[in-house]
Amino acid sequence: MCGVMGVIGSQSASRDVYAGLLALQHRGQDAAGILSFNSPEQRFHLVRGAGLVSQTFNRSAMNSLSGDAAIGHTRYSTVGRTEDRDIQPSIVPQPFGIGMAHNGNLSNYKALADKIRASQNRYLQTGNDLEVLQCLLAEGLSSSTARENAPGCFFFDDLRRAVELVFDVARGGYAVVGIIAGKGMYAFRDPNGIRPLVLGRRDGDGSHAVASETSALNITGHRPVRHIEPGEIIFIENNGALHSARTKVTRHAPCMFEWVYFASAESQIEGRGVYGARLELGRALAKIISQRQAAGARSSGDSACESLEIDMVVPVPDTSRTAAIALAETLKIPYRDVLIKNRYVFRSFILNTQEERERALKIKLAPVASEIEGKNVLLVDDSIVRGTTARRLVGLVREAGARKVYMASTCPPVRHPCFYGIDFPDARGLVAHGREESEVADEIGVDGLFYLDMRGLREAIGLPALCTACLDGDYPVPVAQAPEGFCGEG
């Protein structure tokens, strides 16, 4: 999962993108990059590097990114570690000069890469699926017969046909933003709409922006216009004229994990507010707990616990706070924010290795022992994926003196791998894979475990269709198993 941002028609395009990337930092902390295009110079300018946005761009770097069009990227590597050559955005020199950044994964990366090497006699410089997308788009544009000196509307026809070719062969989830030298800015979204992308416009200067989330548009003063549809290509000329076409539609399946965990609380994804969805997730989870309380049974359904008494609801910072507040209000149980977060520590889920996640968690959270001692504590987390965070958190809370520790997840059990941009492409790393809920409870060491069910999840998010493949194995882009040569760099 990554964050992308693009702006055209602004005299401060690169600074707009920089501000937007700060608002998208939660989507990727491995690396960041900005690519600008200066029309009078007919030159691209690129700055990128490992680390946070604030670490990558100093004043000198920002001054070098001249031009009225720019795109940017925050990187979350889902396979391996970050290498300089894999940091986005990137450029291919022909035709025209194509800059690109994307969020997502191609599940058929290896087959496409092999085909490109064979058919185009091209050497691929990275292990990044972005390069494959760029090669596919470049090949489609190169085959156009009408590109030379064509007016913008005709160039859009060429671009649309080129993107259609990408849609025909690229499998997976991807949201793309880019610049074509001397032409304008483009964006497109995979035919299933797995990864989010939103279009905005600023009234003052008429500039357009495209971003992963509306939070990035809000910070730059761009009014969200609409989300880009699955299978849609948009193109904004240098003069501000906007063209769009929806060329391929299959099964609309936006990733449910955006509302559960990844997206910023103030964002709107697919027109659905993330904050509101998380409130509903908490309320739905409260109903499940209330039913269990009434039945006087553990989540596993056995009779080991004759009654369920909860003294306080405690969120696992930060994402689960909204749901935890709604859950506590619904159950009329005191809400206590007694896991104090060190705000300088990265989001532990999106660190690259298990060792890094465990090390980060040790310094990320500190329990307030004076409030926890002797209490029955219900921990609320957005999800339980690998079990790393849950297991160590339970240990921390017990060490702080809790009498009993329960855990509730606003996401149903994650039992299947994701091939579309979330960092669990191997089912063996999932704590719920092949385990019953009671076995997961034993594994993470809780006295009781509560998962939201699929119905509650769907009703809380409130959209007619979602990608829930990691929960139920129903993949919108069929994948029998982890693809050979699976690449997760977007």
Give catalytic residues, as residue numbers: 2
| Inter-CA distances, 247 with 231, 250, 284, Å | 6, 10, 37
| Inter-CA distances, 478 with 55, 108, 473, Å | 39, 11, 10
SS (H, E, C) the chain: CCEEEEEECCCCHHHHHHHHHHHCHHHCCCEEEEEEEECCCCEEEEEEEECCHHHHCCHHHHHHCCCCEEEEEEECCCCCCCCHHHCCCEEECCCCCEEEEEEEEECCHHHHHHHHHHHHCCCCCCCCHHHHHHHHHHHHHHCCCCCCCCCHHHHHHHHHHHHHHHHHHCCEEEEEEEEECCCEEEEEECCCCCCCCEEEECCCCCCEEEECCHHHHHHHCCEEEEECCCCEEEEEECCCCEEEEECCCCCCCCECHHHHHHCCCCCEECCEEHHHHHHHHHHHHHHHHHHHHHHCCCCCCCCCCCCCCCCEEEECCCCCHHHHHHHHHHHCCCECCCEEECCCCCCHHHCCCHHHHHHHHHHHEEECHHHHCCCEEEEEECCCCCCHHHHHHHHHHHHCCCCEEEEEECCCCCCCCCCCCCCCCCHHHCCCCCCCHHHHHHHHCCCEEEECCHHHHHHHHCCCCCECHHHHCCCCCCCCCCCCCCECCC
Q: Is 445 left (phi over 0), alpha (psi -120 to 50) or beta?
A: left
Q: Is 50 exposed, middle or buried (0-12, 13-18, 19+ CB in 10 A)?
A: middle
- Please check whether residue 345 is in contact with residue 426, taking contact to mean a CB–CB distance below 8 angstroms: no
The side-by-side arrangement of strands in the sheet containing 69-75 is 43-50, 31-38, 69-75, 3-8, 208-211, 198-201, 223-227
Report d(CA 316, CA 260) in Å as an integer.
13
- Please check whether residue 126 is in contact with residue 73, taking contact to mean a CB–CB distance below 8 angstroms: no
Report d(CA 487, CA 244) in Å as an integer.
29
